[in-house]
Structure formats: C-alpha cells, structure tokens
Chain A
C-alpha cells in the first residue's frame, strides 16, 4: 500500500462545476496535509494546507480533513479551464521531516 494514494484521473468536469479531488494516507499519526497544483511542465505550487479535522476554505478552494478515516480532499468550486492541472496531495507523517507526495490527480475542466 502506498503511503499517500490518489486516483490518477483524469477527472473531467465542465466549467462552473465543483471538482472533488481525494487523497488517502496510511500513517494514522500524520499531522500536516497539503495540496499542490502542478501545471504541465511546471513546478508544484502550494494552494492549501490543513492540520485539523474539518473544512478550510480559501476562495474557490476548500480542503477537508478526516483523520479518523485517513483522507483529505480538495474541492474546487466554479471550476475554470485554468484549473486544469495535476493536483498533488502531500502528507507530513509521524516523526518525518519530509513530505510524502501522492502521484497526483489530473484535472481537466472542459469549457
């Protein structure tokens, strides 16, 4: 079992819809969770971080964390074609200094 798992996609949604991206992790003691966006050929950029159970909203983005079920999700409201990218989930596990990244979910927003 991978430490951080994501569906590779592509996840295709129409413009204006809500895109829902999911991530599960294996280390029950993990405390920090991040979502990065990576455009094709570019470097990752941080879009959300979350540390406590529940929802965290930032503009059109909402991160959701459920530590009991060991999953973290990212919702993108009013999806735009410019949101088309690969979204990487990253988790900081117990006693680790490094982040563990999932392999990413490719999102396609259809105009």
Chain B
C-alpha cells in the first residue's frame, strides 16, 4: 500500500528536550516536505526537499532542522523545542512537477510544555 508514515503520532515533551519526528514514504517520491497546522493559520510549510541531500527552507523554518540522507526518509528535528512549537505536523511527498498530488502522512500532534 502506497503511504506516508510518521512517528510518533502523539508526543508530549518539555521545553529544550531534543526530539525527532520521522517520516517515511514508499512511493519513490523525490519531493518531500513538512508542514505545521495551527488553528486559524492553516498549513504552513517548514522545510522541503527536492531530492536526496537537497533541502530548503519553507515559510516557517525557525527552530527546526531536517535531513534527507535517503530518498524514502525525511526526519524533522527540533533541537530545543519551545511551547510555540506545539502544533499538528504533517509530512507530505510527491513526484516533482506541477499538479503532482501530494500525499500526506497521518500527522503528529506535538505538545511542548
């Protein structure tokens, strides 16, 4: 089954404790990205990757890091989480090009206290 998986699905952590949210896709997609979704603000892109070892900032990259060492994986790293990073996070992947459908993962709900 074609899918994007994220782990963990739910996470409660404390300020400053480094965490990683994993994202993996089995569709051989070149393009992967991370979004956060907050009430009233919609989906905002954090980082994206056009291919292995190629990453770039989205609209809200501050406080986040990513890496793309393998085509299928695109982890999101929060080196020192803060309460304003409490949000619902989605990973997405697609083939490149106009109109290529983005497949979203199931989401990770992160709470930073």
Contact = CB atoms under 8 A, between A and B. Distances in A.
B59 interface: yes
B2 interface: no
Contacts of A43: 90, 104-107
Interface residues of B, number: 22
A16 interface: no
B56 A51 contact: no
Contact of B44 (A8, A31, A101): A101
Given A98-B48, A102-B42, A46 B102 contact: yes
B15 to A, nearest CB: 26
Interface in A81-111: 88, 90, 92, 97-104
A31 B42 CA distance: 20
Contact of B99 (A51, A100, A104): A51
Interface of A: 4, 8, 31-32, 42-46, 49, 51, 88, 90, 92, 97-104
